[in-house]
């Protein structure tokens, strides 16, 4: 739809990249997500599930490497390249986009250390994977802790607020014990995790360490996959650690630098969420515009009615405003400038925009928009989940304000 595609600054290579990703999103992600949306959570993660086919096709096309530099086999995306791919994947489906985005986290952070043992044991097998055998997840949220990790990880750390999942030194190893909650994305199928662990409880959240953990080790177990309102294509589930032993070099970040590491992870995750939900907002707007041009009421397409015209143009304005802020946040992320508050602003604004636009899309469809099996109905549920995941929007806003007034 050229009239609503304001990508005037895309290079020919970025246009080609957008079209390639859109094809994958339209032909693989969206139809599979619609199928997964109606399945029981246990069936979504079954060995013969359509989810497995999405991972296999995505890995074959190299989408699991998009955050890696060229020297490790990645594409070396510039910020706008990554944004184009992320928005198209979000347009295809938010849940699958998040699932394919988080899968690289343990391997990417392991690669950042440059440790040769980690490169051999974890990173290289992931880089060589073209079938979706190596899947990552991010273990942060716990039954008693979630967004408070954002508020109390720096100078505001309190000794009474820390993760309950612990890591303690035992000789040349770390011993991990505790639980991560049911909101771990990819938690039900992951082979490896990037885990936030309490190492020094007296320091509160500032006493947190970050480790990579293979999930096939003795002592690791999992709960049932989560049955939830939206993003049903995104498998989520709790993970338990019972005296799990890992080598010393699997602890990537020890207490003392966790606050800075958290800011960097938060900035990257929130910028990525903003991109994904720009795609969701755009998908909802496009569906509403198409339907308004086809649906006849009063002898004319409803797109000729002024109230519908006003609603559709407001939706268009919201979508393009969100896209502009998301692009800015992603550019700053790669600039080396202070960026966390921009990423938070983009995440909170773009996810709220996705929910608002999806709601307006349902209103445009009328009663049909409430029916199961309709894309706009699924988009609305998917968007609603985004106001909570990767930091609840209201808590993120408090954290974002602190960055505005830092000395």
Mean pLDDT, residues 253-261: 74
107-118 residue pLDDT tens: 999 999 999 999
Look at residue 83 in the predicted model and tell me its pLDDT: 94
Residue carrying structure tokens 């928005």:
87
Its sign, for the CA torsion 279, 360, 232, 343, is: positive
What 3-state class would DSSP assign to 230? Answer: coil
The CA R_g of the chain, rounded to the nearest whole Å, is 21
pLDDT of residue 259 exceeding 80: no
pLDDT grade for 4, boundaries at 50, 70 and 90: low
CB atoms within 10 A of CB 8: 5
Residue 177 bridge partners (DSSP): 166
Mean pLDDT, residues 125-154: 90
Look at residue 263 in the predicted model and tell me its pLDDT: 79
Look at residue 1 in the predicted model and tell me its pLDDT: 44
Look at residue 262 in the predicted model and tell me its pLDDT: 75
pLDDT of residue 247 exceeding 50: yes
Say how far apart CA 165 and CA 362 lie, in whole Å: 42
Look at residue 150 in the predicted model and tell me its pLDDT: 76
Say how far apart CA 209 and CA 206 lie, in whole Å: 9
335-386 residue pLDDT tens: 877 689 999 999 999 999 999 999 999 999 999 999 999 999 999 999 999 9
Look at residue 8 in the predicted model and tell me its pLDDT: 64
Say how far apart CA 237 and CA 233 lie, in whole Å: 13
pLDDT grade for 261, boundaries at 50, 70 and 90: confident
Of 3-7, 52-56, 226-230, the range with the lowest mean pLDDT is 3-7
Residue carrying structure tokens 């409803």:
302
pLDDT grade for 93, boundaries at 50, 70 and 90: very high
Of 15-19, 58-62, 82-86, 330-334, the range with the lowest mean pLDDT is 330-334
Say how far apart CA 183 and CA 180 lie, in whole Å: 8
pLDDT of residue 3 exceeding 50: no
Domains of the chain: 2-128 (1.10.540.10), 136-257 (2.40.110.10), 259-404 (1.20.140.10)
Look at residue 2 in the predicted model and tell me its pLDDT: 43
pLDDT grade for 154, boundaries at 50, 70 and 90: low
pLDDT of residue 153 exceeding 80: no
Q: What's the whole-number average pLDDT of the chain?
A: 93
pLDDT grade for 319, boundaries at 50, 70 and 90: very high
Torsion angle, alpha carbons of 285, 291, 296, 298, to 10: -20
**φ, ψ for residue 310, nearest 5 deg:** -60, -45
In order of 136, 192, 208, the CA distances from 195 in angstroms are 11, 9, 10
Say how far apart CA 367 and CA 344 lie, in whole Å: 35
pLDDT grade for 146, boundaries at 50, 70 and 90: confident
pLDDT of residue 60 exceeding 80: yes
Percent of the chain with pLDDT over 90: 85
């Amino acid at each position: 739809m050229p009239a609503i595609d304001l990508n005037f600054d895309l290079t020919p290579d970025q246009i080609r990249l957008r079209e390639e990703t859109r094809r994958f999103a339209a032909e693989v992600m969206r139809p599979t997500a619609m199928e997964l949306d109606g399945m029981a959570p246990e069936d979504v993660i079954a060995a013969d599930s359509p989810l497995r086919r999405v991972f296999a096709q995505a890995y074959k096309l190299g989408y699991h490497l998009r955050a890696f530099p060229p020297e490790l086999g990645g594409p070396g995306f510039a910020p706008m390249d990554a944004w184009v791919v992320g928005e198209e994947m979000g347009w295809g489906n938010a849940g699958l986009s998040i699932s394919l985005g988080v899968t690289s986290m343990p391997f990417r952070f392991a690669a950042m250390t440059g440790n040769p043992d980690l490169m051999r044991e974890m990173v290289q097998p992931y880089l060589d994977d073209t079938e979706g055998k190596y899947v990552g997840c991010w273990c942060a949220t716990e039954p008693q802790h979630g967004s408070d990790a954002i508020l109390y990880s720096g100078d505001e750390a309190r000794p009474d607020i820390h993760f309950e999942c612990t890591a303690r030194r035992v000789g040349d190893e770390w011993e991990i014990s505790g639980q991560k909650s049911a909101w771990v994305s990819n938690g039900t199928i992951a082979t490896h995790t990037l885990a936030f662990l309490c190492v020094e409880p007296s320091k509160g959240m500032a006493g947190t360490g970050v480790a990579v953990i293979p999930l096939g080790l003795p002592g690791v177990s999992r709960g049932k996959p989560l049955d939830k309102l939206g993003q049903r294509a995104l498998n989520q589930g709790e993970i338990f650690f019972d005296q799990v032993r890992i080598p010393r070099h699997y602890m990537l970040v020890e207490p003392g630098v966790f606050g800075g590491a958290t800011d960097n992870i938060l900035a990257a995750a929130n910028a990525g969420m903003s991109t994904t939900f720009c795609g969701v907002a755009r998908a909802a707007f496009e569906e509403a515009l198409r339907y308004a041009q086809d649906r006849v009421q009063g002898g004319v397409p409803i797109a000729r009615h002024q109230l519908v015209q006003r609603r559709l143009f407001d939706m268009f304005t919201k979508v393009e405003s969100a896209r502009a802020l998301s692009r800015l946040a992603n550019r700053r992320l790669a600039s080396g400038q202070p960026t966390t508050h921009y990423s938070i602003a983009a995440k909170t604004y773009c996810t709220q925009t996705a929910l608002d636009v999806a709601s307006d899309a349902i209103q445009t469809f009328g009663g049909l928009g409430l029916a199961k099996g309709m894309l706009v109905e699924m988009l609305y549920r998917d968007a609603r989940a985004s106001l909570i995941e990767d930091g609840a929007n209201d808590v993120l806003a408090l954290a974002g304000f602190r960055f505005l007034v830092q000395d």
